[in-house]
Amino acid sequence: MVKNLAGLKSSAQSRSNDTMSRATLAIRQMKSEDVEINFRSVATRASVSTAWLYRTKPMRDKIMKARTASPAVAGETTLSRQRLSHERIVATLRLRIKSLEDGNRELKEQLEAAYGRLAVAAPKAQSARRLHGNDVRPRINKKKTLDD
C-alpha cells in the first residue's frame, strides 16, 4: 500500500489555513461591529473550537490583543451585567417584601378576630359569675388585731 503523505500534509495545511482565515475574518468583523471579543465569541463566529484558538499561538495573541484593545466595550458589558444583576436582586427583594406584607396583613386580621372573640366572651363570663352566689370570693388579707 502506497502512502500519500504529501497529499495528506497539503490537505491538513489547507484546512488549517482556511480555519485561520475564518478566525481572522471573525475578529476583523467583530472589531468593526464593536462587539465584545473573547475566545468563545470568536469560536462561535468563526465556527472553530475554543481549544483550537487557545492552541494556535498567533490566534491566541490576536484575540488577547483585541480583547485589551477595546476596554470601553468590555466595560459597558460589565456595567450592563451588573445593572441586570442589581435589577434581578431588587425584583427578588420586592417580591419577598410583598409576600411578607401579605403574611403580616393576614396575621393582623387573625389577631383582630381573636380580640373580637375575647371581647364577646369576656362579658358573658362576668355575667355568669354574678349569677352564682356560692362562688368563693378571694380573701383579702388583713392583719389580725387583738379585737378580732
Is pLDDT of 129 > 60? no
> Domain coordinates of the chain in residue numbers?
18-69, 72-126
Torsion of CA 107, 109, 115, 120, to 10 degrees: -140
The predicted-structure confidence for 1-33, as pLDDT tens digits, reads as follows 567 788 888 888 899 899 999 999 999 998 888
pLDDT of residue 109: 95
Q: What is the value of pTM for the model shown?
A: 0.45
**Taking all residues of the chain, what is their mean pLDDT, rounded to a whole number?**
83
The predicted-structure confidence for 33-92, as pLDDT tens digits, reads as follows 888 889 999 999 999 999 999 999 999 999 998 887 765 555 566 778 889 899 999 999
- Whether residue 34 contacts residue 74, with contact meaning beta carbons closer than 8 Å, is answered with no
Q: How confident is the model at residue 121 (pLDDT cuts 50, 70, 90)?
A: confident
